[in-house]
Amino acid sequence: MFGVYFGKYLQDIGVLSDEQYCEIIEASRHARVKMGLLAVSAGYMSEAQADEVNQLQAMKDARFGDIAIEKGYLTEEQVTELLKKQGDSYLLFVQALVERNLFTLEEIQKYQNNYKKTRRLTAIDLDALKSSDIDKIIPLFTKGASAPAVVKDYIALMARNIVRFVDNKIRFEKLEKVTTYTSKFIASQSFQGDYDLFIGVGGTGNKQIGEAYAKEKFDSIDEDCLDAVCEFINVCNGLYASKVSEEDTTIDMLPPSMYTDVTTISSEGQMFVMPCFINGERADIIMCMEAKWKID
Amino acid sequence: MANILIVDDSRTSRRILRGVLEGEGYEIIGEASNGQEGYDMYVQYKPDLVTMDITMPVMDGIQSLKKIKAEFPDAKVIMVTAAGQKHNLIEAVQSGAADFIPKPFDVEQIKSTIIKVLDL
């Protein structure tokens, strides 16, 4: 995933063209093999066990490896070994740059140092970005917005599910506290219960999410596309509700809503927007709290 | 082959379910987008089986299930649910739901659940 951030930086400073950026990302996209497939081909799990773990993933917000360990199908050592086999996405990105004679390794190192400096990243931040571990990456983008834990937790959960259902070559930008948000395309669902939440996804990136979730091509971001995004949000919200129910918190999901005209969401309570770029299209994750939101 | 009524407010879910079930040779007797429509269509068509979403506008899936089971105790209703609706699911089972299918859909799980419930 670091390749997506670093590649964007190289593009921004003008040493990588838009076309080259897309080509490199595409080249490294399919290099990652699914953990279940690796575990079965290594003889660690049967296909039936892998299918069972995949099904359990639908019911809880946990990674394949974690569930497999919990079920006793894999050991921690085996998961570590399989993660290594899955491939280091940053190395694959670097390999794609070098193979195309775009940069030497020394040049890449120089640009990487500049990237670290201009983005004011610590060595730990850089390692987190290079890890491709969404749980380490998301806090880099949520830490400055003084958002409550609910917001950070939810954003991390949705990010994990975007990686799982939509694309693993995604790029986040900093979470922002806002008072209004306007978009022509918004899919949403609210929670009611021990606390109230509005969850929405706005922007042209809805097309990427809708198509990936429904496994269908849409000509435009129409009601069918937003309906698919609503289903995706519904799945995320279900996983979130399931997670908080373990802490004795009850929240019920309301029927999803979609907006295909220019719509403004405003709130007198806390409201946050987290931009996520999928294939260059922006999808904003919108969260409002305290039941003080208004939709016009 | 059995005929099935799909009740779900999401076109995406209805399309996926229809595709899987028709692919297995079942007849989709109708599609409803909320619990009230689902109940009305059940009364009209008396399908062999219903797939019923839980979270829907107008009338939710639990209320619709209760209405159907009150009048037709032998009705076979499978709830369709995202994770995190455990308390709804418990209420559904207590109200006579035969089984449930989780979202996101797993094609093999849909097929095996339908076969199991139709065999009951």
Mutation site, A231, A236, A257, interface B, largest B CB count within 10 A: A231
Per-residue pLDDT of A126-137, as tens digits, reads 888 887 788 888
Q: Which residues of chain B make contact with A248, given a CB cutoff of 8 A?
A: none
Nearest Cα to A30, choosing from A87, A101, A95? A87
Structural domains in chain B plus CATH codes: 3-118 (3.40.50.2300)
CA distance A249 to chain B (A): 11
Q: Which residues of chain A make contact with B17, given a CB cutoff of 8 A?
A: none
Q: Is the pLDDT of residue B75 over 90?
A: yes
Q: Is the pLDDT of residue B23 over 90?
A: yes
Q: Are B102 and A242 a contacting pair at CB < 8 A?
A: no
Beta strands, E only, chain B: 3-7, 27-32, 49-53, 77-82, 99-103
CA distances from B36 to B39, B66, B99 (A): 5, 11, 21
Task: Nearest chain A residue to B107 by CA: give it.
Answer: A55
Which residues, in sequence order, are CB contacts of B12 under 8 Å at separation 6+? A213, A214, A224, A227, A228, A230, A231
Task: Nearest chain A residue to B110 by CA: give it.
Answer: A55
Asked whether the beta carbons of A253 and A241 are under 8 A apart, the reply is: yes
Q: Is the pLDDT of residue A33 over 80?
A: no
Asked: is A166-295 a CATH 3.90.1150.10 domain? The reply is: no
Which residues, in sequence order, are CB contacts of B120 under 8 Å at separation 6+? B76, B98
The residues on B that touch A, with CB distances below 8 Å, are 9-13, 15-16, 55-57, 81-88, 102-104, 106, 108-109
Task: Nearest chain A residue to B60 by CA: give it.
Answer: A255
Asked whether the beta carbons of A182 and A253 are under 8 A apart, the reply is: no
Q: Is A33 left (phi over 0), alpha (psi -120 to 50) or beta?
A: beta
Nearest Cα to B60, choosing from B18, B98, B92? B92
Q: What is the pLDDT of residue A233?
A: 96
Helix (H, G, I), strand (E, B) or coil at B83: coil
On average, the pLDDT of chain B sits at: 93
Q: Which residues of chain A make contact with B84, given a CB cutoff of 8 A?
A: 237-243, 245, 253
Comparing CB atoms, the residue among A55, A213, A253 nearest residue B55 is: A253
Nearest Cα to A156, choosing from A145, A167, A172? A172
Nearest Cα to A187, choosing from A223, A162, A240, A239? A223
Comparing CB atoms, the residue among A51, A60, A231 nearest residue B83 is: A60
Q: Quick one: CA torsion of B111, B115, B117, B120, rounded to 10 degrees?
A: -170
Please classify residue B40 by burial: count the beta carbons closer than 10 Å to its beta carbon, then call 0-12 exposed, 13-18 middle and 19+ buried.
middle
Position B40 confidence tier, pLDDT thresholds 50, 70, 90: very high
Q: Which residues of chain A make contact with B113, given a CB cutoff of 8 A?
A: none
Q: Are A55 and B104 a contacting pair at CB < 8 A?
A: no
Per-residue pLDDT of B102-112, as tens digits, reads 888 989 999 99
Angstrom distance (rounded) from CA B108 to CA A50: 13
Q: What is the pLDDT of residue A30?
A: 62
Task: Nearest chain B residue to A258 by CA: give it.
Answer: B10
CB atoms within 10 A of CB B56: 25
Mean pLDDT of B57-68: 95
Q: Are B84 and A230 a contacting pair at CB < 8 A?
A: no
Q: Is the pLDDT of residue B115 over 70?
A: yes
CA A123 from centroid of its chain's CA atoms: 22
Q: What is the pLDDT of residue A169?
A: 82
Mutation site, B15, B55, B109, interface A, largest A CB count within 10 A: B55
Domains of chain A: which residue ranges? Answer: 2-31+88-132, 35-86, 166-295
Q: Which residues of chain A make contact with B13, given a CB cutoff of 8 A?
A: 231
Q: What is the pLDDT of residue B90?
A: 86
A-B Cβ pairs (cutoff 8 Å, strict): 78
CB atoms within 10 A of CB A233: 25
Task: Nearest chain A residue to B34 by CA: give it.
Answer: A255
CA distance B27 to chain A (A): 22
Q: What is the pLDDT of residue A250?
A: 84
The residues on A that touch B, with CB distances below 8 Å, are 51, 54-55, 58-60, 165, 213-214, 216, 223-224, 227-228, 230-231, 234-235, 237-243, 245, 250, 252-256
Would the pTM of this model clear 0.95, i.e. be above it? no
Amino acid at A142: T
Tell me which DSSP letter residue B58 carries.
Answer: S
Comparing CB atoms, the residue among A59, A224, A255 nearest residue B55 is: A255
